[in-house]
Amino acid sequence: MFPAPMGNHSYLSDIRAKFIPSLDPDFQPISLVLRQAKRRITDGTGAVELTLLLERLPGDRSVHRVSLPNPADDDSGEVERLAERICKFLLWQQGASRVGIHSSDGNDRLAKRLAKVYNADGARAFDADMMQRAYGRPLVIEAINPAEAEATDTAKAIGGHLDGCRIGFDLGASDYKLAAVQDGEPVFTTEIPWDPRVEADPAWHRAKINEGLKLAAEKLPRVDAIGGSSAGIIVDSEPRVASLFRSVPDGQFAERVRPIFRSLGKEWSVPFEVANDGDVTALAGAMSLKTNGVLGLAMGSSQAVGFLDQQGRITGWLNELAFAPVDFHPAGPVDEWSGDIGCGVQYFSQQGVVRLAKLAGIDLPDAHPAVQLKHVQELHEAGDERVPPIFDDIGICLGYALGLYAEFYDFSQLLALGRVTSGRGGEQIVARAEEVLRGEFPELAEKVQLQLPDEKSKRVGQAVAAASLPKLGA
């Protein structure tokens, strides 16, 4: 792994945040670390420009460039650690089976170090394995010639089809949401509690999904199309990586989980399309707000993120920011699945609420995080004074995270959804995030609007948007 700062010396992390989370005061926003890096360059420190080429599959490439202080001027190791965090962010934002790196000083040291970190024997073996699962080939990180760094535009329009009788579903880790939609109007919506992460038999998953589809079908005169939203990495309606199926053995996953939606589509004999839940979150926002440039953020069992660009298209990127770092502190909270520190899931999900509730001294029931979240929200409604700091902290961290996200996404609307945003807590989160934007990122505050949909849209709006994915006759 890249070294943490030695002793008290800090080259980039000597930041002065205007807003400090009360329960997690050691939080070091990467957005401010990036700002400090830019200040170092402005103050006369030598700079290098890093060019990162992310190739998902042949013909599908994106490029990101960033200027950083010259690592040779930094004996703390923080510049190289920041470069690694940027690479990690890009991997989970855009996805890659190959990362090509060029440094303007001609030094390939960073590429070599990242190649050691992101392999089966490295500290980031989880990330390398997930990229291989997503794209079917081992992740390669190597130095490249800058002339090779050419991006391709593979963005495409998604959803928005409202004709006919449709079923939409949204598969989360704690519940399964359904909507029966007729000519664009939901005639039936529901939420079915479930805990798929502990089930090893793919037949159980298929039967539970089909059970919900049949329930929704009873509310329609016929079924013309079915659209779905699911946590995880979805490529061509196939789950490639999904925590919902984490107990399914690898062999069974490849044989029975990856084709699960195609199998259901054949059974129902209608157009059947499934997309990443983050993209459908963004689609739901674009449909309700009637605008584009939407970054959708669903705070539920994990952190789901989706993006519709200013032309109303999805990019084909992963947008799995649950695994993307937002905290630079070397002792940040650890993600139980990836083993990495300071990643979004520990701040913007049920897990984040549970983590902060424990820091607030709240005794939680020995139950699923969704039940623990509900317990915290009930205490909030009852006036328990230990709860507001939890949602204030989430809002502060979100404000700083948006400052980071704006370095990688061109968005003008932020739509916050998911169980964590239900009730008074959601209002606190948005209010505190807006306060951080005004205080730390005033130009971004002028550009971006934070939206908190009504309670019904938060809970089932994604299922309704999912119903619009298939095009009739497709």
The DSSP annotation for 279-295 comes to HHHHHHHHHHHT-S-EE
Q: Do residues 93 and 321 make contact, with C-beta atoms less than 8 angstroms apart?
A: yes
Structure tokens belonging to residue 205: 């998953």
Inform me whether the pLDDT recorded for 300 exceeds 60.
yes
**pLDDT tier at 356 (50, 70, 90 boundaries)?**
very high
pLDDT winner (highest mean) among 42-46, 173-177, 231-235, 296-300: 296-300
Q: Please state whether beta strands 225-230 and 233-235 pair in parallel, antiparallel, or not at all (unpaired).
A: unpaired
**pLDDT tier at 5 (50, 70, 90 boundaries)?**
very low
CATH code of domain 156-279 = 3.30.420.40
pLDDT score recorded for residue 6: 41
CA–CA distance, 194 with 212 (Å, rounded to integer): 11
CA–CA distance, 279 with 289 (Å, rounded to integer): 15
pLDDT score recorded for residue 7: 40
Q: Please state whether beta strands 98-103 and 47-57 pair in parallel, antiparallel, or not at all (unpaired).
A: antiparallel
pLDDT score recorded for residue 474: 57
**pLDDT tier at 284 (50, 70, 90 boundaries)?**
confident
- Sheet with 272-276, strands from edge to edge, namely 185-193, 175-182, 165-171, 225-230, 272-276
Helices and strands of the chain, counted as H and E runs: 14, 17
Inform me whether the pLDDT recorded for 325 exceeds 50.
yes
CA–CA distance, 417 with 348 (Å, rounded to integer): 11
The number of CA neighbours under 13 Å toward the Cβ of 175 is: 18
pLDDT winner (highest mean) among 166-180, 223-237, 429-443, 457-471: 429-443
Q: Do residues 179 and 463 make contact, with C-beta atoms less than 8 angstroms apart?
A: yes
Q: Do residues 421 and 429 make contact, with C-beta atoms less than 8 angstroms apart?
A: yes
CATH code of domain 287-462 = 3.30.420.40
Rg, Å, the chain Cα set: 22
pLDDT in tens, 84-115: 999 999 999 999 999 999 999 999 999 999 99
Give, for 100, the enclosing helix (H) or strand (E).
strand 98-103
Structure tokens belonging to residue 395: 């809002």
Q: How confident is the prediction for the chain on average, in pLDDT?
A: 92
Inform me whether the pLDDT recorded for 453 exceeds 80.
no
**pTM recorded for the entire structure:** 0.87
Q: Which residue has the higher pLDDT, 255 or 8?
A: 255
pLDDT score recorded for residue 110: 94
What is the three-class DSSP state of 269?
coil
Instruction: For residues 347-356, give the mean pLDDT.
Output: 97
pLDDT score recorded for residue 9: 60
DSSP type of residue 143: E
Alpha carbon of residue 181 to chain centroid: 27
Domain with CATH 3.30.420.40 in the chain: 156-279, 287-462
pLDDT in tens, 357-366: 999 999 999 9
Q: Do residues 296 and 284 make contact, with C-beta atoms less than 8 angstroms apart?
A: yes
pLDDT winner (highest mean) among 72-76, 152-156, 348-352, 418-422: 348-352
pLDDT score recorded for residue 8: 42
Alpha carbon of residue 83 to chain centroid: 20
Share of the chain above pLDDT 70, in %: 96
